[in-house]
Amino acid sequence: MKFQKGLAIAVLVCAIAIDVASLQVVQGQAPPPLSAAQAAQWKETEGLRAEMYRLYQAGEFGKAIELAEKVLAIAEKILPPNHPNLAQSINNLAFLYRAQGRLSEAEPLLQRALKIRETVLPPNHPDLAQSINNLASLYQAQGRLSEAEPLLQRALKIRETALPPNHPDLAVSINNLAFLYQDQGRLSEAEPLLQRALKIFETALPPNHPDLAVSINNLAFLYQAQGRLSEAEPLYQRALKIREAALPPNHPDLAVSINNLAFLYQAQGRLSEAEPLLQRALKIFETALPPNHPDLAVSINNLASLYQAQGRLSEAEPLLQRALKIREAALPPNHPDLAVSINNLAFLYRAQGRLSEAEPLLQRALKIFETALPPNHPNLAQSINNLASLYQDQGRLSEAEPLYQRALKIRETALPPNHPDLAVSINNLASLYQAQGRLSEAEPLLQRALKIRETALPPNHPDLAQSINNLASLYQDQGRLSEAEPLLQRALKIFETALPPNHPDLAVSINNLASLYQAQGRLSEAEPLLQRALKIRETALPPNHPDLAQSINNLAFLYQAQGRLSEAEPLLQRALKIFETALPPNHPDLAVSINNLASLYQAQGRLSETEPLLQRALKIRETALPPNHPDLAASISNLAFLYQAQGRLSEAELLYQRALKIFETALPPNHPNLATSINNLAGLYLVRRNLPQAIVLLARGFNISEQNLQQNLIVGNERTKQDFARQFSGETNSAISIATQFAPNNLAANRLAALTLLRRKGRVLDAFSSNLQALRQRLKDKPDAKKLLDQWATVQQQLSALSSRTPNQSPEQFKAQYAELNSQRRELEAALSKASAEFLKTIQPIQLADVQARIPKDSVLVEITIYQPFNPAAKLQQDLFGTSRYAAMILRTTGEPEWLDLGEAAPINQSIQTFRTALQDPSETRAVQQLARQLDRQVMQPIRQRLGTVQHLLLSPDSDLNQIPFETLQDETGKSLIDRYSISYLTSGRDLIRLATLPTSNAPPAIVADVDYDNTNLVASNSTRGGDRRSRDLASLKYGKLDGAKAEATLLKQLYPNAQLFTDKAATETAVRQLQAPSLLHFATHGFYLADQTQYFAPKPVSGLRQQPQQETFNLENPLLRSGLALAGFNSRNDRPNQSDDGVLTALEVTGLNLWGTQLVVLSACETGVGAASVGEGIYGLRRALTIAGSQTQILSLWKVDDQVTALLMRDYYTNLQKGLGRHEALRQAQLKLKTSRNYSHPYYWSGFIPSGDWSPLKGRLAKS
């Protein structure tokens, strides 16, 4: 929990064991002889001292201080300067100052009293120990723990010397040192001391003595701090039993014991058992104490804290206000306990969403602490932290950061390096960085916090589990789901051990693991966890607790993801009923719950039931939120979308325009929600066939989206990338639909669709890559530029995080924050662009003219894409996008782009799979020809009719079309396309821009072949791994040796004598990762690809803008983990799960290789080119990865070709290259040679390899080989 209530002192004076804690009235001491007059005068002060003590007991500290100051003045006048009674008078005034929080005034008095006693008493006198203890106690209260420790050790040593081994005062000193160790987080050192103290009390005192109860309570409190709740409980019960026997029924100390047991029950989640105890304790205090006694305020606060834990916020508020009023009356204006009460009320307001009311309270509390406490006091750090946490809630992250850093600095100064409170501050700063998207900065902090807690706390402490959870949460944000899972399981195991089976915190941990399973698409495993969490909360919490409603919502969302809408409905209705009971009628969270139910009804087509819910949610937000709040605009958009579905277009238009106006006022000009709002209005204009206006708006919306894609898909975390992938898939589908269906002859529509496709095809795959890390590596010789790149990435992360949340501050503040970060970004980009041409290319948005300028005059770019037709008039959200279809965009170096629809994807994909199967059977000839003609008729014939006489095709296929060689298709005359065209494959048309800027490497070639997949002698690598994760689905794969690989390597070594050769056990992942841009890289090894993951469609809680048009999915594992190459040790990788070299080179790792300028990469392997074809993202495999890594040309095999044929093809291919043929034409000629041969004319033999990337001849030394 970031916002800590530790200052609330929930355990009321649990251990009154320090000597100074009881104000002593000195009577009958035997001081040095006084004169008769002096003795008489001192005797006259007895009445004053007795009244002073009475006033202290009544909590009237101010009046007690007046008398203490009067007694001291008399004592200073009549007593000798070193008289013990003078020391006691000084001590009494110091104690009262401390009770009022006037610590700085108490200190010189305690030092003076100690000096007197050091002068007049023997060095081992017990009263001297008392004075030493008093000063140590003050230092402890000031947070000066390192100064207190030697004093307490000195006092203990005196008492060990002066007193019998079982004397109660000795136990007090032992106890005091134990308390200090607890404050320092040295719990394991405190425990034996408290056990020793208890043993002394048990020996020295009767079994029902009140002081024995204090000692028992102290040990129980330590056990509770260690998370040993089951051991603490019988001790608290024993202490209570003693006090019930020894004390009157209304004694304050009895109330303390009752309160302590209640506090334990609260920690165990036994809230219903804690409540009557806290009420009983409060009743005792109300009877025993004056109405404005500070201890009464503590008891009131404790009951209020319980009500907050139960979600009974409206009942907690008057209690907290009463406690604050008491302390304002009883304490000086700068007393720390007054600041605690102020803080507690602020905490309640924060829980109620009343952030603007909480802020001045937290600022007031902080001001008090800054006045009352030393600058490095831990409680000051806590107050700073609380204000920072509020700012974080308000989205004022830049204001929160220096506060968190200040709090951390204080604790690093004041506390030992392994103190648990230090871990809290570290975690808070990490949480802020996580919210800002600065995940790489958050990770070492969370790891440090976890390490502290692992050192300081027992292995089953709940706080340790919380740190484990925090790190797991970060890994989830980074998409490192397989690393998050064991952490969440470990945390859950701790909670299950440490907490009762129905504790609310256990439900949180269970829910966290369920959330991970949902993100992985493991819905059947998530369901029983969510049901268990719900059952716990139903048992532990009141029936109207908001956390219970949240659990109900979670299960409902799972049912919606599974399409079990009828089961989700009663859950959402029940959750709404709870929120209606628990929250004020205009609370914003109530509007969220109403929206959730409305979203379900709309998905079910129950539009008439949806409308009153959306209207009610809108009304709440109009009442509760400022007129320009983005959430208000979201509600307006939701209602507009409903009206659009109902055909009430005029009403919808007015609402969309109103929402857009709010977003334009509240958000920066390139905020993604603004783009969505613009797109919503454009969709309405499409329904009305107002195409010009719709296209203008879509162009504006898509341009904003492009800016956000630029910042989010480069440095955003994987979850953010997935969210943006979903959003722009809807935009891309919309643009293509307009060009192919709404306005097929509209030039503006065609250009918009072409630009959108060129910018976005394969974009998410680029984003999931390690290209930023690779760029950082290439800047290693430019430290200044590398530093600028890191600063730029941090700013981009902050912008990304800022874009992904709804602002809580004013529009002016939010825009100013956004503008400041944008200004920093522009300055850094300008500086970086001068230092790195590669960086400049990375950030420049793709323009249609730039692509056209790089298309040769005798060539044409053919972009084939799969899309889902957009239907803006759909009544249901799920019907916005239709059945998948293929479309083609044709682009020449001059002129306008042309679009054509190729038909439904399903029959084309069926033809592809049938054809692909036939291709791999050399005995099938006639069937192959028929299928080649059929597929050509479906795909290429419509395109060919628009190609004219062009003979060079720059072809960028999509989805399943990536799995077949187009050269094998047959035209109307029965001619194969390889005979008509030279085909150069691209993963995206924008690769043409990239190819024009790549350098050319002349480093020696590298050959990786004849791999020993069973190698068990690998050693750990020292190289840095950027993408060392593995897909869960990879676990069972194993491979045998490739028979022809050794001969292939021998041939290539003859052709390129200077090549580096990596074979057998040397063909390792480490060796490949250490390559530095070889001019040529040839792999003869197995490649793998994993089938597409199921993509589940699921609703999100409708708290904000309805993202329309958008397709909500989850369970997107990083696609670059789903394909790769097998290297040495692949088969034994599971025996080395934590080793850096496991024989698996994923496509993600390929993107981090240094192939910058590598002229040619050949993957002569089994099915390496197939990848995991996935909707909208082209080939999910090694082709794109190798392109991102910087290679110019890639040759990949689509299936395992016959070894002898592969040797012939490779020999001819490399020979043709050395003759100066282009990199693609050299392969085409080698394939034509096989095609016309007697034995290898079947496409299985000659068409298995396809070329992509640069088609020009090799350069430099390779060209001269």
The predicted model scores a pTM of: 0.76
Quick: pLDDT tens for 532-590: 999 999 998 888 888 999 999 999 999 998 889 999 999 999 999 999 998 888 888 89
Confidence of residue 777 (pLDDT cuts 50, 70, 90): confident
Confidence of residue 807 (pLDDT cuts 50, 70, 90): low
Confidence of residue 869 (pLDDT cuts 50, 70, 90): very high
Pick 804 or 655 by higher pLDDT: 655
Quick: pLDDT tens for 875-894: 887 888 999 999 999 999 99
According to the model, what pLDDT value does residue 1021 have? 41
- Assess whether pLDDT exceeds 90 at residue 226: no
- Assess whether pLDDT exceeds 60 at residue 778: yes
Burial class (CB in 10 A: 0-12, 13-18, 19+), 573: middle
In this structure, of 231-235, 448-452, 954-958, 1052-1056, the range with the lowest mean pLDDT score is 1052-1056
- Assess whether pLDDT exceeds 50 at residue 478: yes
- Assess whether pLDDT exceeds 50 at residue 849: yes
Q: Give the number of other CB atoms < 10 A from CB of residue 791.
A: 16
According to the model, what pLDDT value does residue 767 have? 61
What domains, with CATH codes, occur in the chain?
848-985 (no CATH), 998-1264 (3.40.50.1460)
Tokens of 510: 């269970």
Going by C-beta distance under 8 Å and a sequence separation of 6 or more, which residues neighbour residue 757? 732, 735, 736, 863, 865, 889, 989
- Assess whether pLDDT exceeds 50 at residue 241: yes
Cα separation, 198 vs 175, in Å, equals: 9
Share above pLDDT 90 across residues of the chain, in percent, rounded to a whole number: 56
Quick: pLDDT tens for 681-716: 999 999 999 999 999 999 999 999 888 877 766 665
Tokens of 1026: 């950027």
- Assess whether pLDDT exceeds 60 at residue 1171: no
Pick 838 or 125 by higher pLDDT: 125
Q: What is the mean pLDDT of the chain?
A: 86
| DSSP class per residue in 220-273 | HHHHHHTT-HHHHHHHHHHHHHHHHHHS-TT-HHHHHHHHHHHHHHHHTT-HHH
| Average pLDDT over every residue of 951-967 | 93
CA neighbor of 1011 nearest in space, from 1056, 974, 1046: 1046
Q: For the chain, give the number of residues.
A: 1265
Pick 1030 or 957 by higher pLDDT: 957
Quick: pLDDT tens for 144-185: 888 999 999 999 999 999 999 999 999 999 999 999 998 888
Quick: pLDDT tens for 1095-1151: 443 333 333 333 333 334 444 456 677 778 999 988 887 675 556 677 888 888 888
According to the model, what pLDDT value does residue 8 have? 27
Burial class (CB in 10 A: 0-12, 13-18, 19+), 1179: buried
Cα separation, 608 vs 242, in Å, equals: 66
Confidence of residue 827 (pLDDT cuts 50, 70, 90): confident
Residues 552, 579 contacting (CB under 8 angstroms): no
Instruction: Please report how the helices 783-803 and 811-835 are oriented relative to each other, as an axis angle in degrees rounded to 10.
Output: 150
Quick: pLDDT tens for 1199-1240: 888 888 988 999 999 999 999 999 999 999 999 999 999 999
Cα separation, 1246 vs 965, in Å, equals: 10
According to the model, what pLDDT value does residue 535 have? 97
Pick 781 or 1207 by higher pLDDT: 1207
3-state SS, residue 901:
strand
| Average pLDDT over every residue of 399-425 | 92
3-state SS, residue 447:
helix
Cα separation, 1149 vs 379, in Å, equals: 47
According to the model, what pLDDT value does residue 23 have? 40
Name the strands in the sheet holding 885-891, side by side, starting at the edge strand that comes first in the sequence. Answer: 898-904, 885-891, 859-867, 952-956, 982-985, 1249-1253, 1193-1197, 1160-1163, 1080-1084, 1006-1011, 1060-1064
- Assess whether pLDDT exceeds 60 at residue 1018: no
Pick 1122 or 746 by higher pLDDT: 746
According to the model, what pLDDT value does residue 1255 have? 96
According to the model, what pLDDT value does residue 764 have? 65
In this structure, of 18-32, 543-557, 768-782, the range with the lowest mean pLDDT score is 18-32
| Average pLDDT over every residue of 844-859 | 93
Residues 377, 339 contacting (CB under 8 angstroms): no
Confidence of residue 255 (pLDDT cuts 50, 70, 90): very high
According to the model, what pLDDT value does residue 15 have? 28
| Average pLDDT over every residue of 129-135 | 93
According to the model, what pLDDT value does residue 13 have? 27
Quick: pLDDT tens for 298-320: 999 999 999 988 888 889 999 99
According to the model, what pLDDT value does residue 1198 have? 85
Confidence of residue 512 (pLDDT cuts 50, 70, 90): very high
| Average pLDDT over every residue of 95-116 | 89
Confidence of residue 60 (pLDDT cuts 50, 70, 90): confident
Tokens of 490: 């470990």
In this structure, of 618-632, 809-823, 1071-1085, the range with the lowest mean pLDDT score is 809-823
Cα separation, 440 vs 458, in Å, equals: 29
| Average pLDDT over every residue of 439-453 | 94
According to the model, what pLDDT value does residue 719 have? 60
Q: Is there a cis peptide before residue 1109, judged by omega within 30 degrees of 0? A: yes
- Assess whether pLDDT exceeds 90 at residue 55: no
| Average pLDDT over every residue of 1150-1167 | 86
